Structure 1
């Protein structure tokens, strides 16, 4: 059976305030279960998935540029166009 974490335990693992967990639930990023008393509990595997570090945006963009260049080299035009659109969105977001 999966271990369930209290909001305090989950927030410590993720390095966020427990209120952030509630916001993430509303955004669909995290799911909680409720005890019979109505208290939130978080599945450990879901919390651990969120705890995986996200690479810096510069690293993501650099990788996308490499993949875009390779797609152009091999003639994968639709894929290259999709990657170019994604890079444009990232550039627009700053």
Structure 2
């Protein structure tokens, strides 16, 4: 039953990462400096969230264990997709 909660958690976190990147690309000024101020916090946030949910994988309760595993994998994939697909696609598009 807890795995039903994993989808909204992962979706919310994953969408936020993409939104932060797009907002940084749309700001006026140097895009490189705007991205430098956003990419590091997004990366650290994703890694901390993955580690936090991943720690639930060691819980004694099977429901919490599966929730932690599913959320950790989902957040890691959202972070990967944001940094490897959203960022280059938006930069390649020449957004302004």
TM-score band w.r.t. shorter chain: 0.3 to 0.5
Q: Whose helix proportion is higher, 1 or 2?
A: 2
* Larger RCO (CA under 8 A, 6+ residues apart): 2
Structure number with larger C-alpha Rg: 1
* Larger relative strand fraction: 1
